[in-house]
Amino acid sequence: MKAKDTIFIGFTLFALFFGAGNLIYPVSLGIESGTSYIPAIIGFVITGVGMPIITVAAISLVRNGAVQLAGRVHPTFGLLFTAMVYLVIGPFFAIPRAANVAFETGVAPFLNGEALTLFLFTVVFFISVYWVSRNPSKLVDRVGQILTPALFLAILALVIGSFFMLDGPIQPAGEKYEAQPFFTGFVEGYLTMDAIASLAFGIIVVSSFRDRGVTDPKELTSRTLKAGLVTAAGLASVYIAIGWIGAKMATEGTYDNGSAILSGAAQIMYGDVGTVLLGLIVGLACFTTCVGLTVACGQFFSKRIPGLSYQAVILIVTFISFGISNIGLNQIISYSVPVLVFFYPITIVLVALTFMGRLFNHSPYVYRGAILLTAIIGLYDGLVAFGTDVSFITPLVSQLPLYELNLSWVFPAILGGILGMLFQYFKGQTRTSESYQN
């Protein structure tokens, strides 16, 4: 296998990852973090880039993808958790968000951004997504190969322009980033959804290497990591560049979301031509991402739900995505945050246990203990993010280490794993004792 194949697969993974969240959240971080931009973006890159690549590497260690990875907790949990992952990266959050970013960037700057305009845009958008998803072939990969360099060039033009045409001073950090910018950026990296999406995309990378004759487990993981580094370099470069644009845009006006900030920057620097170019490229990038996610959902659910065909699944996915898209980008972001705050810690713990599994022979009790306590704290954090009154338990949770850094799940995850290990040990001792008595 040639080195260029690894690079090509790395670019393919970049094309799969690069969608709406990769554009709107870094630029929002930049405008909000201001003078604390550097520690904030470092934290963001760790979870927005590092975690997805590590998760893809974890997928290379198992043969049946995310279902087997999560199935180490319990087979039923593996199936249900993976199904929820596909719903999160599919019709409930990621697809509607991508459609809205395409609208906000490519249509709203030129036309009235009212509900009717969004409705008409999403009708055309999702009919197109459904039509292409019916017989996807290799269209998504091919378009991705064209879009990836084009998108880099467009972002490069924006970044270069920001150095010469955006001369406003960097503003002080907002309240959100004032105290702990690194850890705030770390949690904000959840919002890209990429670590969750990598549970689905990882098997694509692994299959690509296997199709090229890589069968040795160690070589497969090594190749996957190398391809991941190519992806990581691209994602990190884009995040840092776009975040810097946000930091420079703080004195240019008030914006509702990251999409509006990017459109405003393109307009300031290059006029209508810049806005059109950005809108076209972002729109196509979001479109191919939506097609890829729709196809992934279609393939996953049609294989696991008897009597439900691939065509029926993608029709349901596009219809649900269309409906949710019309509540607007800000609303989608607001209700997706609690879900991601719940899901991300579980994903991180699953991946960590996969790499450490040899230390405890992948005991299901260790997985169950760690995931159970992580999920409890994640549920609490999710309810808080949703605005639910859980003040009756806050005094207890607030005593956990790292609570102030929004990482209160770390200690319970470790404790749950230790308890699971002890349970496994004493269970083994009990069986040994019974065998002696018999």
pLDDT at position 10 is 84
Pair 149, 6: CB distance under 8 Å: no
Q: Hey, is 214 helix, strand or coil?
A: coil
pLDDT at position 40 is 95
Q: What's the pLDDT tens digit per position in 213-253?
A: 877 878 888 888 888 898 899 889 889 988 988 888 888 87
DSSP labels, 362-373: T-HHHHHHHHHH
**Separation between Cα atoms, residue 322 and residue 315, nearest integer Å:** 11
Closest CA to 52 of 66, 35, 62: 66
Q: For residue 292, name the pLDDT band (cuts at 50, 70, 90).
A: confident
DSSP labels, 285-303: HHHHHHHHHHHHHHHHHHH
- Asked whether residue 432 carries a pLDDT value surpassing 80, the answer given is no
Radius of gyration for the chain, computed over Cα atoms and rounded to the nearest angstrom: 22
Pair 287, 133: CB distance under 8 Å: no
Query: Tell me: domain 3-326, CATH 1.20.1740.10, correct?
Result: yes
Query: How many Å separate Cα 40 from the centre of its chain?
Result: 18
More confident residue, 192 or 438: 192
pLDDT at position 437 is 45
- Asked whether residue 370 carries a pLDDT value surpassing 90, the answer given is yes
Q: For residue 141, name the pLDDT band (cuts at 50, 70, 90).
A: low
Q: How many CB atoms lie within 10 A of CB 406?
A: 18
Structure tokens at 349: 């713990």
DSSP labels, 7-76: HHHHHHHHHHH-SSHHHHHHHHHHHHHGGGHHHHHHHHHIIIIIHHHHHHHHHTTSSSHHHHHHHTT-HH
**Separation between Cα atoms, residue 23 and residue 18, nearest integer Å:** 8
Q: What's the pLDDT tens digit per position in 67-91?
A: 888 899 999 999 999 999 899 888 9
Which pairs with CB-CB distance under 8 Å and at least 24 residues apart come from 37-41?
A: 37/170, 37/181, 37/243, 37/244, 37/247, 39/181, 39/182, 39/185, 40/173, 40/177, 40/181, 40/182, 40/184, 40/185, 40/188, 40/243, 41/185, 41/239, 41/240, 41/243
- Asked whether residue 261 carries a pLDDT value surpassing 60, the answer given is yes
Pair 289, 133: CB distance under 8 Å: no
- Asked whether residue 198 carries a pLDDT value surpassing 80, the answer given is yes
**Separation between Cα atoms, residue 158 and residue 152, nearest integer Å:** 10
Q: For residue 367, name the pLDDT band (cuts at 50, 70, 90).
A: very high
Rounded (10°) angle between helices 329-356 and 364-386: 160
Q: For residue 1, name the pLDDT band (cuts at 50, 70, 90).
A: low
pLDDT at position 2 is 72
Closest CA to 120 of 108, 136, 132: 108
pLDDT at position 112 is 67
Q: What's the pLDDT tens digit per position in 267-291?
A: 888 888 888 878 877 888 788 788 8
**Separation between Cα atoms, residue 257 and residue 225, nearest integer Å:** 33
Closest CA to 159 of 243, 88, 215: 243
Q: For residue 435, name the pLDDT band (cuts at 50, 70, 90).
A: very low
**Separation between Cα atoms, residue 428 and residue 327, nearest integer Å:** 54
pLDDT at position 145 is 62
- Asked whether residue 405 carries a pLDDT value surpassing 90, the answer given is no
Identify residue 228 by its one-letter amino acid code: G
Burial per residue of 98-126, b for 16 or more beta-carbon CB atoms within 10 angstroms, e otherwise: bbbbbbbbbbbbeeebeeeebeebbeebb
Every domain of the chain and the residues it spans: 3-326, 343-438
